[in-house]
Amino acid sequence: MKSDKKIIILTENLGKGHIKVANVLKNEISKQLDIEVEILDYLGVAGKIFENGVSYIYKNLIENFPNLYKMSYEYNDKNKPYGLIDSMIGAKLKQNLGGDLSNIIFISTFPNATAGISSLNAYKKYTVITDYTVHGGWIYDKIDGYFVANEKGLDTLKKHGINEKNIYITGIPIPKEFYEKRNVRESKKMFNIDIHKKTILIMGGGDGVIKDAINLIQSLEEEYNVIVITGKNIKLKEKLDKIDFKNTTILGFVENISQIMDITDIAISKSGGISMTELNAKRIPILIYNAIPGQEKGNADFFEENKAGMQISNFNKIKITIKHILNGKIQLDGKIVDRRYKAIDKIINIIRKDL
């Protein structure tokens, strides 16, 4: 029997991780629960101009003023960063939904959205925290359930006065395909790369992380297969496509990232919570290049502490570090992601009990 409730997942296009989490939630909830599910852009509720303005400021701070972004991040961690504007967006969201939220289950994958729904009188309100540390901007009263990555997240929420019964250690939800690994030899044939060479994956181009990596790529392809994913950074892909690489595959935005990870031996990546989770689920060692201040630095620190990743800020050290990982001198075999009990299933089982 179809539930009379409706699930609304709130997300935002400030970093692709929030959207990926929203999509995996929608897809799996639709498969496992007989309930209507919808994804909404939270900031878009206030209008496209507002959403685009916030997105521009956010990306400009990260790319051009990282120290200012760090100061803002640290200030907002200790103070309630979202107030009047999010209250207004929350009120607008309620109005758009007809005013009566008694049958609505909200799931937030974005800090501002948690602020916006915190005062709304909905049936249930959940928050999925998409990083390995918990920023103060996620923490608001009157949320029925917080889904966190680890014990550290639980401890942080408790210190901020959140009742432990409302905190669930689930891990970060990713598509189930990342918990599996296909036959490497066959997968290399499919991608038409040398089956006898190790493969290095360089990713994070959507935010320009690898824009200065040409010399690195050329040095690595002497010994390894190199796959570069530039994401939606079209200019970067066009720039790399003009170079006569010998043993490097340049890809833009891809849908088959799980298959590419199947043939990856080491990844050089930024430290977004979702991409790090996907890589660790595949048990791929991660070299984290120049983690930006804030949540990504927190993710990088957590992975380094748990020997699943290593931070590096000098391109000239990457090649020798790769050698040390492959020959066992550096161990990056930390198993952060629990592959037996998938995060998405844990979350859905909790929601199911509340229906």
Fold for the domain defined by 6-171+340-354 = Rossmann fold (3.40.50)
Q: What is the pLDDT of residue 128?
A: 97
Q: What is the pLDDT of residue 63?
A: 66
Residue 103 CB neighbour total at 10 angstroms: 13
- Extract the runs of DSSP E, i.e. beta strands, from 32-76: 36-41
In this prediction the pTM is 0.90
Q: What is the pLDDT of residue 208?
A: 45
> Buried (b) or exposed (e) across 313-344, using 16+ Cβ within 10 A?
eeeeebeebbeebbeeebebebebbeeeebbb
Measured CA to CA, the distance from residue 192 to residue 159 in angstroms comes to 52
What are the phi and psi torsion angles at 268 (to 5°)? -110, 120
Q: What is the pLDDT of residue 167?
A: 97
Q: Is-contact 229 260, C-beta < 8 A?
A: yes
**Crossing angle of helices 295-305 and 273-281, rounded to 10°:** 30
Planar angle of CA 83, 87, 89, nearest 5 degrees: 120
Q: Is-contact 60 52, C-beta < 8 A?
A: no
Measured CA to CA, the distance from residue 310 to residue 304 in angstroms comes to 5
- Quick one: residue 98, left, alpha or beta (phi over 0 = left, psi -120 to 50 = alpha)? left
Residues of the chain with CATH 3.40.50.2000: 177-326
Measured CA to CA, the distance from residue 347 to residue 176 in angstroms comes to 13
Q: What is the pLDDT of residue 141?
A: 86
What are the phi and psi torsion angles at 23 (to 5°)? -70, -40
Q: What is the pLDDT of residue 308?
A: 96
Q: Which residues pair with 289 in a beta bridge?
A: 312
**pLDDT tens string for the chain (355 positions)?**
678 899 999 998 766 778 899 999 999 999 999 999 999 998 887 777 666 666 666 666 666 666 676 676 665 666 665 566 788 888 889 999 999 999 999 999 988 899 899 989 999 999 999 999 998 889 988 999 999 999 999 999 999 999 999 999 999 999 999 998 777 777 787 778 888 899 999 987 544 445 557 888 888 988 999 999 988 778 888 888 888 888 899 888 888 899 999 999 999 998 899 999 999 999 999 999 888 878 889 999 999 999 999 999 887 889 999 999 999 999 999 999 999 999 999 999 999 998 8
**Torsion, CA 236, CA 239, CA 245, CA 247, rounded to 10:** 20
Q: What is the pLDDT of residue 270?
A: 87
Identify the architecture of domain 177-326 in CATH. Answer: 3-Layer(aba) Sandwich (3.40)
| Cβ neighbourhood burial of 83 (10 Å; 0-12, 13-18, 19+) | exposed
Q: What is the pLDDT of residue 51?
A: 64
Q: What is the pLDDT of residue 34?
A: 92
The string of pLDDT tens digits covering residues 62-97 is 666 666 766 766 656 666 655 667 888 888 899 999
Residue 40 CB neighbour total at 10 angstroms: 18
